[in-house]
Amino acid sequence: MWRMGSILWLLSSCPAAAEDYRVFEGHGGPVMAVAVSGDGSQLLTASFDYSVGVWQLADATRSVWLEGHRAAANAVTFLSDRLAASGGDDFAVIIWHVSERTVVHRLEGHQGKVTAVQASPDGEMLASASWDGTVRLWGVGSGAEVGVLVGHDGGVNDVVWTNEGRTILTASSDGTIVEWDVRSFRPIRTVVRHGFGVNRLEVDETRGWLAYGAVDGGTRVLDLRSGIELADITLDRRPILALAKDREGRQIAVGDGEGYIMVVSTENWKIIRDFQATVNGPIWALAFTGSGDAVIAGGISDEAVLWPLDGADGLPKMAELKRRFHTSPDELSNGERQFLRKCSVCHTLGASGDRRAGPALAGLFGRKAGSLKDYSYSEAIHESDIVWTEQTIDRLFELGADHYTPGSKMPMQRIVSAKDRADLIAFLKRETATAEGE
Ligand code: HEC
């Protein structure tokens, strides 16, 4: 039956469809967050490759990369048609001038990764949620910290402004959703006690509902004022990782750890669509297009995908993690296995960096640290005197980058076993030499 449906869809839809299936390709790591501009023409993507992509929604062409995070970018939002904000694993929030590709403000203060950013309704303030258990409020114009919301017993995963910017709702790993007074920075009430960590939150003040998704798969809708449950749309999939509502508030989309996207009508809270969007692996990010006819998702693969809701289940799924794990792990040498597991998500062996978070490793041995021209290194690496040899690479992973090259953008990663380090280095020596032909 479904086959027939999808063939009919293909036959009937091509020219007439409001939105066409589209892939936003170019990131060198999974896409953790997506956001659509107010006029519906642009898309922002925040990626594990440390960068934020800016795309034309209509044809999936990319305008610019915004580079400045020193670790994975997790959260992103438009502040106006010119400004955007992002948050990352580097604990930083960055306000960007989009077309000039410049950092307007780098907002530092969080002590844990930043999981969500949202502008106040008047656009003057930015709220950032963090795994340090706080939400920080910043002046968008000044870049100054305005206040901190302290009180959750766990990381904060999401934040939404309400009451024209007078109050804020936060969702936390401590299992609660709390309402805060923005002027006093004090909690007003606990709106939800779910028990399991709450990952995502959406609110429609006009229609008066709050929807949330949690670690245990719990997906519920409550009356915003009374707290009475309007619907329990929990399925047997978990965790819930992404939640979005369309502009009109007609539907919400839910993305989960098993790679499904479910679209639910807010009229009657019935499921309108439910389709598997990835072959395996999670959906981390979701947004509706301006028309609400399509969803854009980010997940395990290095791309964002736009699915028209009409016929979404007949369209290709998000690509599997390609290229990185062709071979079964048992057939690999230990050195290659070390590289695939611990390095390949951020580095290529060839001369092209392929937009991974780290520099290309071709020609690594004998190279001065921080010397590739087309890679933007941290000052710590750029100015270091290290030359990469068997000995220095061994030290890097014996001590960890945080000790050997403090201040670098490398993750704090140690390889404890001397044999694993030696095997990895032998593999790198072979593969990076042939790649460059030096
Ligand atoms: C999460 C991403 C990430 C992972 C995983 C990672 N790296 Fe890196 N690596 C980076 C980044 C980012 C830099 C640039 C550091 C800077 O500029 O401070 C870097 C720099 C390097 C450099 C210095 C290169 C140069 O041109 O100076 C080497 C060598 C290196 N990494 C090797 C490795 C190896 C080997 C592994 C696996 C054991 C690994 N890295 C895992 C992100 C990563």
**H helices then E strands: how many in the chain?**
6, 28
CA distance 98 to 1: 46
Distance of CA 387 to the CA centre of its chain: 34
Residue 93 near residue 117, CB atoms below 8 Å: yes
Q: Structure tokens of 184? A: 């006093």
Can you tell me which atom of ligand 1 is nearest the CA of 338? 38
Ligand 1 contact via 345 beta carbon (within 6 Å) = yes
- For 333-387, what is each residue's pLDDT tens digit? 899 988 988 898 899 998 887 788 999 999 999 999 999 998 989 999 999 999 9
Among the listed residues 49, 129, 47, the one whose alpha carbon sits nearest the alpha carbon of residue 93: 129
Residue with the larger pLDDT of the pair 1 and 265 = 265
Mutation probe of ligand 1 site: the residue of 50, 344, 347, 382 with most atoms within 8 A of C-beta: 347
Per-residue pLDDT at 437 exceeds 80: no
CA distance 415 to 412: 10
List Cα–Cα distances, 105 to 82, 92, 122, 140, 289, in angstroms.
14, 10, 19, 8, 28
First to last CA, the chain: 58
Q: Does domain 323-436 have CATH number 3.40.50.970?
A: no
Q: How confident is the model at residue 4 (pLDDT cuts 50, 70, 90)?
A: very low
CA distance 33 to 93: 14
Model pTM above 0.85: no
Ligand 1 contact via 182 beta carbon (within 6 Å) = no
Ligand 1 contact via 377 beta carbon (within 6 Å) = yes
Please state the φ and ψ torsions of residue 341, each to the nearest 5 degrees.
-75, -40
Q: What is the CATH number of domain 19-314?
A: 2.130.10.10
Q: Whose CA is nearest to atom 10 of ligand 1?
A: 358
Can you tell me which atom of ligand 1 is nearest the CA of 370? 27
Q: Where are the domains of the chain?
A: 19-314, 323-436
361 Cα–ligand 1 center, Å: 9
Ligand 1 contact via 28 beta carbon (within 6 Å) = no
What per-residue confidence (pLDDT) applies to 320? 56
- For 141-173, what is each residue's pLDDT tens digit? 999 999 999 999 999 999 999 999 999 999 999
Beta carbons within 8 Å of 88's beta carbon, 6+ residues apart: 46, 50, 69, 70, 71, 72, 73, 74, 75, 94, 113, 114
Mutation probe of ligand 1 site: the residue of 113, 396, 410, 432 with most atoms within 8 A of C-beta: 410
